[in-house]
Structure 1
Amino acid sequence: MARARSFKNSQIAEYPSPIFQLLSVSHLTSLFSSSSPKTPRTQKFLPSSPSLLLFSLFIFFSFSVLLILTTQSSIPCSVVFPSSPLSSFSLSSLDPIVGDDDKPRLWRGEMVPLPVRGVYGNVSKLEEEFWRQPDGEGYQPCLDFSIKYRRESPAVAKERWRFLMVVASGGLNQQRNQIVDAVVIARILKAALVVPVLQVNLIWGDESEFSDIFDVEHFKRTLQADVRIVSSLPSTHLVSRQSVEAQIPFDVSPTWIRTRFFKLINEEGLLVLKGLDSKLSKNLPPDLQKLRCKVAFHALRFAAPILELGNRLARRMWIEGPYIAIHLRLEKDVWVRTGCLTGLGPQYDDQITKERNIGPQFLTGRHNLSCSDRRLAGLCPLNAFEVARLLKALGAPRNARLYIAGGEPYGGSQAVKPLVDEFPNVVTKQMLAREGELLPFVDKPSTLAALDYIVSLSSDVFMPSHGGNMGRAMQGPNKRMMLSFFEDSSISEDEFGATMRKLHEKSQGQPESRVGKRRRDRSRDVIAYPVPECMCKRRSSLFRTGRTYLTGYM
């Protein structure tokens, strides 16, 4: 079980600087309102002596300087002060706060879940524990870029000669990762980035463009201080034929990028990259890690039609009480790519094997492992029976409402029958949507995946059946640690449940740092492990007034 409102990846809605909050409650305001009972009303806010006036002006200008310094930081730690349960979920909260010069200063939350509903009535201790939300431990986004990074930013943001074009492939979450890396590479090369091209997906046939899925203008505005982003190449750079760089090794460093491409892009003014998926090193300098987080969790906002429908679907689930969201990865392509058995019998497994033999390039991971070894290594998705067993072991009540995220399962209703038998209150986006609402998105799997993400974000419990980008962006259970107990037929269901709860409890503590004691920890993805580069604990309790929303976020 994993919580959609996890502190592992938190999005805090940002409101005006805490300095204003401090001034509004501070005793310093008494300096401007002190007066004797006989003071005329027109002189109420005048200090009573010249020395007090000078002291007041000193305090005022000191805070003014401090305010200017704090607003220069990029997306600081912040708090949220909701006025009502639904106020933080309005679409208006997705807009930037714009200054007089039309440049964004502070950003409100990109995606904020609906408030926790709570569990009422006659529930068991086990069920109460199941619905309990994790403690955020005070962790919040902290994208405090270095002075060196900020000094270099104006020149990079005005770049007019070097341009980077990137072709992103795969499903929604793979495309998101490549867009994130495209921005980072543009920053490394000090190049302007052309809005990425989304390659037509060969498996799902999705022909969506960037603007169909993401808010282009928001993307540009959010990153305007980091990288210049343009919608298309200028006429000076249009040529009849461009060379495309597709042979990029894995785990390339910023030094490799500069050595390999800087001379080329400096001379020709254009670099086209393809096949970026997971090629850029996960262990980057802190500023570039922070930029990754800024792109993934602040700049990549869904387009308005997707947000509006996703919010409506989420409200329809939320209004009836707490619910579980399960990212059920049972699609045909998942079985082909993972090299695993479906659990549906020889007829289905033989068909998958035939398709895998036709396209062996689709198989991911280690090719020399048997199906059982791949499963024990955590490379296989849990099937519907295993998901149901895990939910029962963790204490989910039979009448719990389940939202199923994911594409069409291979095997149809037979594939999900074991889950429905144990938890009959199963809902999908097709069931939630009203007539005609999904019609504009019928042939757009990436958009449908975005709707799933939004509804999952507001769930009380989120659990992916398979590791992947969506599970990392929210928080998934440690499946590999649990798998050996799934295979052990000698333990009873009670023992199995107690073991699962104990293992899960360990994962609900303080968020694990990306930079651990082991050398290989540095290869962890900062999107999944945002501490310490992108998140920090609240530095002071001085501004700790009001409730904070801790969520998984895009």
Structure 2
Amino acid sequence: MDMLAFSGCTRGCSDEEAEELKKMRFAFGLVHISMVEREGDSLRREEGARAVSSDPEEVALVLKALGFDKNTQIYIAAGEIYGSEHRLSVLREAFPRIVKKEMLLESTELQQFQNHSSQMAALDFMVSVASNTFIPTYDGNIAKVVEGHRRYLGFKKTIMLDRKRLVELLDLHDNKTLTWDQFAVAIKAAHERRSGAPTHRRVVPDKPKEEDYFYANPQECLCEGTNCHDLFGDRNSSLTH
């Protein structure tokens, strides 16, 4: 719920839910986000500022466009989901095999972690690192660390969603400008080079806030000497963009 509130986007929420999220932002002092809402919620969405996870229907569309079918088992690495089963119903209809840690562990096993949020997050971290494919719908710190750890383990498939591009494509599909096949092709093309393959980390001297997060791509830890050139190629090649 906190990630959805902090994103400043309430698309798909009822008036009551939108008001509840707004109050939460004010409670945390996030007045600047609430001010942006006055210019229209669509602005936050178009900027890619919100988590895709705020709309399970969009998540389902994106996953299907990427080639995942209804037999795919999806592990939801998250705490309490805002709206719970009410919001998950659309996603569950498309992907029935949805599981959470609360479903995989016996109540006696889970009990020792339940009052420790960091330990609950650690369980999600372990499953996320071990999964066949990792797709974070919100690029917070834990998602970045999981991305980097999966690179370290051999560049395991990690699809980093281009949220701004997704908004454009989802809207084009929603207004019938793009057919399903065109939408699926465009979604795959947009993420062809966002799957955790070897790539140089963008470094901006004296501007650490503008460069790529080290833990998401610790390239110095992934190779030695001449092996780095073989793995990452020329910094100016298309692989690095």
Q: Which residue in 2 is equivalent to 1:334?
A: 3
Structure-2 change in CA distance of 1:364 and 1:530 (3 Å): farther
2:185 equivalent in structure 1: 498
Aligned partners of 1:363 and 1:529: how far apart in 2? 33
In 2: Cα distance, 1:525 partner to 1:393 partner: 28
- Deviation of 1:386 after TM superposition, in Å, equals 1.2
Give the Cα–Cα distance (whole angstroms) in 1 for the partners of residues 34 and 211 of structure 2.
18
Which of 28, 41, 46 is 1:376 aligned to? 46
Contact 1:376 1:484 in 2 (8 A): yes
Provide the residue aligned with 1:484 in structure 2.
Answer: 168
Alignment partner of 1:536 out of 215, 223, 232 = 223
Relative to structure 1, the CA distance from residue 538 to residue 391 in structure 2 (aligned partners, 3 Å threshold; closer, same or farther) is farther
CA contact (8 A) 2:25 2:34 kept: no
1:361 aligned onto 2:29: yes
Match of 1:461 among 107, 128, 133: 133
* 1:49-198 matched pairs, under 5 angstroms: none
Q: 1:520 to 1:494 in 2, by over 3 A?
A: farther
Aligned to 2:20: 351
The letter of the residue matching 1:350 is E
SS of alignment partner, residue 416 of structure 1 = helix
* 1:49-84 CA distance string (max 9 Å, x none): xxxxxxxxxxxxxxxxxxxxxxxxxxxxxxxxxxxx
Aligned partner letter, 1:449: A
Deviations 1:232-267 (A, max 9, x none): xxxxxxxxxxxxxxxxxxxxxxxxxxxxxxxxxxxx
Matched, 1:512 2:181: no
The equivalent residue for 1:544 is: none
Q: What is the correspondence of 1:130-529 to structure 2 with a 5 Å cutoff?
A: 331=1, 333-341=2-10, 343-357=12-26, 359=27, 361-362=29-30, 368=36, 370-382=40-52, 383-473=55-145, 474=147, 475=158, 476-488=160-172, 489=175, 490-508=177-195, 509-515=197-203, 523-529=211-217
The amino acid across from 2:42 in the alignment is: S
Distance 1:376 1:338, change over 3 A: same
Identity of aligned residues (%): 29
Superposed displacement of residue 528, structure 1 = 2.1
Residue pair 1:515, 1:521 contacting (<8 A) in 2 also: no
1:502: how far off? 1.0
> Taking structure 2 as the reference length, what is the TM-score of the superposition?
0.75
Q: 1:366 to 1:481 in 2, by over 3 A?
A: farther
Partner amino acid, structure 1, of 2:29: Q
Distance 1:354 1:434 in 2: 36
Shift of the 522–408 alpha-carbon distance from structure 1 to 2, 3 Å rule, reads closer
Deviation at 1:539, TM superposition (A): 3.2
**Larger-Rg structure:** 1
CA distance in 2, matches of 1:417, 1:425: 12
The 2-side partners of 1:355 and 1:428 are apart by 25
Compare 506-515 and 448-457 and name the one that shifted more.
506-515
C-alpha deviations, 1:103-132, integer Å up to 9, x for none?
xxxxxxxxxxxxxxxxxxxxxxxxxxxxxx
Q: Which residue of 1 aligns with 2:237?
A: none
Structure 2 Cα separation of the partners of residues 401 and 385 of structure 1: 17
How many angstroms does 1:418 deviate by? 1.2
| Higher fraction of strand | 1
Output the CA distance in 2 between the equivalents of 1:406 and 1:444.
14
* 1:521–1:349 distance in 2 versus 1, CA, 3 Å: closer
Shift of residue 396, structure 1, vs aligned partner: 0.2
The Cα of 1:480 is off from its aligned counterpart by 2.5
For residue 483 of structure 1, what is the amino acid of its counterpart?
V
1: CA distance, partners of 2:142 / 2:134: 10
Moved over 6 A (4+): none
> What is the CA distance between 1:514 and its match in structure 2?
2.0
**How many pairs does the alignment contain?**
207
Which one has more relative contact order, counting CA pairs under 8 Å at least 6 apart? 1
Change (3 A) 1:492 1:538: farther
Q: Could you tell me how far apart the structure 2 residues matched to 1:537 and 1:405 are?
A: 33
TM value normalised by structure 1: 0.35
Question: In 2, Cα distance between the equivalents of 1:485 and 1:534?
Answer: 36
Counterparts of 2:198 and 2:118 in 1: how far apart (Å)? Answer: 33
Q: Kindly tell me: are residues 429 and 398 of structure 1, through their superposed partners in 2, closer, same or farther at Cα, counting changes over 3 Å?
A: same
CA contact (8 A) 2:22 2:34 kept: no
1: distance between equivalents of 2:225 and 2:73?
A: 35
